[in-house]
Each structure stands twice: as C-alpha cells, then as structure tokens.
Chains A and B, each alone.
Chain A
Amino acid sequence: MTDVRPAPAAAAEALTDAGVSPARRRRRRVPIAPYLYVLPALILLGVWIYRPLLQTFQLSFYSWNLLPTQPLTPVGLQNYVSVVSSQQLRDALVNTGIYIGAFLVFSVVLPIAIALLSRQVGGRAKTVYQAIIFVPFLVTPVAAAAVWRWLLSDSGGAIPTVLQNFGIDIGDVLRSPTGAIWAIILIVGWQMLGFGVLVVSAGIAGINPDYAHAASIDGAGGWTILRRITLPLLSPTIVFLVLMTILLSAQWTYPMIDILTQGGPSDSTTNLYYLLYQIGFQNFDAGSAGAAGTLFFIAFSLLALGLVTLSDRLSFYDN
C-alpha cells in the first residue's frame, strides 16, 4: 500500500502521453503492431458498448415491443414527449438525486473522517479495522439484500426487535413509502464505506509528510493543516470517489431495489436506472426505453464532463 501514488486524471494523461525513445525511432513508418494489439479490445468495445448506444438512440424514434416478429413503427419524437411528461420520471429523478447525495456521505465524507481518525491508531490494529470495514464491499448483492431484509424484518428481525426494547417501533421499513429509500441507502452505504476508506487511506498515505511539518513549523495548527494541506492534496482522490459514486451508484443500488422493493412502495425507491429497466423489460416498450436512455446518457455525460473539468481546475497535484 506504500507504493501507490496519486496520478493525474486519466483523461488528461492520455492527451499528454509523450513518446518515448523506442517509439520515436519507429515514427518514420506507421507501425502495424500496436493496432493489432489494440484491435480485439476495440472491436469488443464497439460491439458491446458503442453499437448498442447508437441503437438505443435509433430505437428512441420507433415504437417496438421487443418481440422479433413485430415490426418497428416510426413515431418521431413521441417517445421523448411521453417520457419527459411522465410522473415516474420525475420521481425517479428526485430519488436519483437523493441517492447520489446520500451515497456521497458514505463514500466520501465518512471515509475521510474514518481514515483521518485511523491515523491516530497504530499499525496492526489499523490494518485489522480497515480489513473488517472492507468486507461488506465483497458481499454478493443478493446475499446483502437477503441478510438486510432479515435484519429489518418486522417479525423477528434483529433491528426492529432491539429498537422495540427502547420503545421505538419502526414497523416494516421496506414497505414504508418514507422509510424504504433510507433503508436502501443504508444497505448500499454499508457496502460502499469500506471501499471509500481504503481509497482515502491510500491517498493520505501518498501525501508527503514534509508539507505538514513545514506548515507546523510556520505555526499552523492541526485544523489549518487539514484544510490547507491534507484536503487539497487529497483532492484527486476525492474527485475520483465523487465520480465513482455517480458512475457506479446505479450498479450498486439496482440489485437492492430489484430484490427488496421493485421501486415501490408507490415509486418511492425507484431511480433512473431502475426506471429504464422497468420501461424496457416490464412494459416492453423499447422505444420509450431508448428515449429515456438517450436523455439519460446525454445528461450523465454532461455531468461527468463537467466534473472532470471542474476537478482539473480544483485539483491540486503534488508534483
């Protein structure tokens, strides 16, 4: 864990990827070998990511129920109109915001606090704590859903039973329109926490302690060092975790929503990703799913590109 170093954002790096000596020697003629090495990955990427992306866009102008025998009927922009005007989309949009906001606490805020605190704890104990905190990240989603459904069960589950001893009755959380989303957040947050702690700890380990010394010699207190030195030097790690949370929260929430609530009760736990699944595979409306997917991809790309630009401006590299 000591040999890791914060590196600049991959995107920026790819563009400045300067040639090295053997490569320069060969520049006179265009080499064939690198294309051959890259080709398999490129073809697969084309077939399984960019081809379906274009098809999703194409489908958004048709009406089709996913049955191979049924024809595709062109409908113009109708799919977009119906998707944008649906109440379900608005609910999903709001919930997606809540999910991402809450997950940022579990994947960024809490891990920073925990990683900073664990610096006070010496070698072996720290490793053991961190190893334990990481375990939930490895639990198969179906098992995580199952064990939390059991823990939260209103007939004999450990959490309601214990709370009842304190006179608190939470009832059946997963069937409550207000509580269910928080239960899902808690479960996914429980899984994400260890990953965040691991990444932040590695980021902190990569910071040269000389800066903090220099600052403390100049009379800076602990709080100032944290705010002016540690956090700025940690910013690439933080930006990475924020991006990761936004990019991957879908993959992490989907199984919980699918197994525990199916988006309910009354759409209170649905999000954009689950909505896409419902439109496509429950309503069998490939056209609307295409329209929603296209809108979703555009919004998502703008958000991510905005974040990357922002991070390039904010990030503070220890060069």
Chain B
Amino acid sequence: MAFVPVADITLPVRTTATATRSHDHARSTVKTASRRHIRVPAVVGHIVLIVVAFASIFPIYWMFATAFRQPVDASSQTIFPWPISLDSFTTVWQQIPILSMIGNTFVMALSVAACQLVIAILAAYGFSMWQFPGKNVLFLFFIGSWLVPFQVTMIPNYVLISQLGLLGTIAGVIVPNICSAFAVMLMRQHMQSFPRELIDAAHMDGRNSWGILLRVVLPNMRPALAALGIMLFIEAWNNYLWPALIFQHQSNALVQVGIRSFLGSEGDNWGAIMAASGLACLPIFLIYLFLQRYIVDGFVRSGLR
C-alpha cells in the first residue's frame, strides 16, 4: 500500500512559462499512473478513521452510558442506557463532596496555569528581546530541566514541602509547579516571531520595556496566550502523581485523589464509579467543546516547537 499526496491530484503544478509545454505531457501521464496504481480510495481512509475514532470514543461513551443506567443494570451490555437513571450520580453526591472536589481542582489548575503563564511571559520576554552575557548558559538551564524526570526530584521536593508545612494542602500541590520550563520555551518561541518594527516604534515613543510588554506585546499575543493558558490548565487538572503524593492518605480535596479512594471504597459499584469519573472529566470536555481551536493550536505548537 502506498500513498500519494492529495495535492498531487488537486493542485495545479507551478511551472515556468517556457517549460510548461514539455512538462504538460509528462504530468498527465504521472497523474493517470498515480490514479491507477497508487492512490488509496477515500473510502479506505474513511473506514480506517471511523474504526479508530470509534475505538477512541467508545470507552468514554461507555463511562457515561454506565453512569446513566439504573444501578441494577450496571453490567448490562445494551448500547443505550434505558431507562435512564440518575441514581448513580445521587450515590456519588451522597458519598463524596464531588462539587467541592471539582471546585478545588479548578482553583488549583487555574492558579497553576496563571502562575506558569506569568512567569513564562516574563522569562520569555527577557530571553527574546535582549542579547546579554550568559544568555545561552541560562537558556540551557531551561532546556536541561527537561532531562530531569519528576520521579528523580520528588523525595527532596516532598521533604521541602513538608518542612514548609504544606503537606496535605492545595498550596502544596501548587507551589512546586509555579514555573514550567516548557511554558517558558514555548512562549519564547512566540515572542521571537513578534514583529520587531512594533517594538522599535514603541521604543521611539519613549516607552520602557515594561510598558512595551504590557501595552504592545501582550495585547497582540492574545490567541497564543489563550492557547498556552488552556493547555497549562488541562495539564494541571490532569496531573496525578504530585497531588497523590501530597494527599497520600484518604482525601477528598482534589478529584484525582478523591476518586482514587472512591474507587477503592466502592469496589464493584460501577455505576457510581463511572458517574464520579465522568464528572471529573466533564470540565475539560466542556472546555474542549468550546475552545477546541485554541487547544489544538496549543498542543500542535508544542509538538512543533
């Protein structure tokens, strides 16, 4: 099986005026040849993508389907939950403070994302607008931090957090995550492509660097800031390891930790477990539904640096 870029067939080929004649013939033969031998029919693409999309979405659908079944039918295999029942959600509501858990997680993720964004904006601005001694060495510190797996540093960090008296608190989850080297690097990438002329003009107007950052750079970077901010929020929301360490014993403060203990205590009450899990994902799903463009942009940019 082989593939030919769609562009091959649909887009006109750019050729110089003098060469057009001789190439026309060659091009048409290639086109028919590729049609005949190489091009995978769109139907195959559709079929494969439908299968993959189904495999991707089914577990999530099943989570909500189980949550909406009557508790006695939890292990029924019918595709649609019927009759629909909210009993599983009621159970969750009575067993754990799910609303405050989601609220706390929201506050935690928002604080982490906001702090990371502010710190990243400042550092990226420093890195992208000036040439200064030691710049490359300092930047290597940021890149180098990628090589340090979280698990290698977790014991000393845990000890420091406990010395600060923050074990078992949401602040203890937030504090070590205030700076993200990744956000700094991504932000620097954005700032470097910012048009120089605008900055030079602001300079001539007598603005200082802080004024330029606040009045010129940031207002023009709103889409990038939104994309990065949402991405950092999702990452903070979905972080598991550090919250699980900070709240080692049963705790209902954050969804990640609360649902883990709920999983243990409810055993085989799948309806309730699925309802709690579904609620934990809901805020992110809603954000994705409404801000999909920013999210995709944020993650794609992170992928291409």
- Whether, in the assembled complex, B99 has its beta carbon less than 8 Å from a beta carbon of chain A, the answer is no
Shortest Cβ gap from B3 to chain A (Å)? 5
Whose C-beta in chain B lies nearest to the C-beta of A226?
B3
A7 within 8 A of B: yes
| A216 B49 Cβ-Cβ under 8 A | no
Partner of A156, one of B4, B41, B75, B181: B75
How far, in whole Å, are A257 and B226 apart by their CA atoms in the complex? 33
Residues of A within 8 A of B40 (CB): 117, 120
Residues in B neighbouring A37, C-beta threshold 8 A: 122-123, 125-126, 209
In the complex, chain B residues whose CB is within 8 Å of the CB of A122:
42
B34's partner among A66, A222, A304 (CB-CB below 8 A) is: A222
- Asked whether any CB of chain A lies closer than 8 Å to the CB of B240, the reply is yes
Report how far A110 CA is from B52 CA in the complex, Å: 10
Alpha-carbon gap, A151 to B276, bound state (A) = 16
Is B221 at the interface (CB under 8 A from chain A)? Answer: no
Could you say which interface size class chain B belongs to?
Answer: 35 or more
Binary interface profile of B, 117-152, with partner A (CB < 8 Å = 1, else 0)?
001101101110111110110111111011111111
Please, how many angstroms separate the alpha-carbon atoms of A153 and B41 in the complex?
A: 39
Q: Give the contacting residue for A290; candidates B66, B155, B292; CB below 8 A.
A: B155
Cβ contact within 8 Å between B241 and A217: no
Q: A193 at interface (Cβ–Cβ under 8 A)?
A: yes
* CA–CA, A133 and B58, complex, Å: 11
The answer, yes or no, to whether B87 is at the interface (CB within 8 Å) is no
Q: How many residues of A contact B (CB 8 A)?
A: 133
Q: Which residues from B are CB-within-8-Å of A120?
A: 3, 6, 39-42, 44-45
CB distance from B271 to the nearest CB of A (A): 10
The answer to whether A132 and B57 touch across the interface, beta carbons within 8 angstroms, is yes
Per-position 1/0 for B265-300, Cβ under 8 A of A: 000101001101110110011001000100011011
Interface string of B12-40 (1 = CB under 8 A from A): 01100000000100110010011001111
- The residues in A between 123 and 159 inclusive whose CB is less than 8 angstroms from any CB of B are 125-126, 129, 131-136, 138-151, 153, 155-158
Return chain A residues, CB-CB under 8 Å to B143.
Answer: 10-11, 14
Contacts of B120 in A (CB 8 A): 41
Give 6 nearest A-B pairs by CB, closest first.
A156-B75, A37-B126, A199-B303, A222-B38, A44-B179, A52-B156
A sample of 11 cross-chain residue pairs with beta-carbon separation below 8 angstroms, ordered by A number, consists of A22-B196, A41-B120, A41-B123, A117-B44, A120-B42, A121-B42, A129-B50, A129-B53, A156-B270, A198-B303, A297-B147
Chain A positions near chain B (C-beta within 8 angstroms): 1, 4-7, 9-11, 14-15, 17, 19-24, 26-27, 30-31, 33-38, 40-42, 44-45, 47-53, 55-56, 59, 66, 68, 114, 116-122, 125-126, 129, 131-136, 138-151, 153, 155-158, 161-162, 190, 193-195, 198-199, 202-203, 206, 209-210, 212-213, 216-217, 219, 221-223, 225-226, 230, 236-237, 240-241, 244, 247, 250-251, 254-255, 258-259, 272-273, 276-277, 280-281, 286, 289-290, 293-294, 296-297, 300-301, 304-305
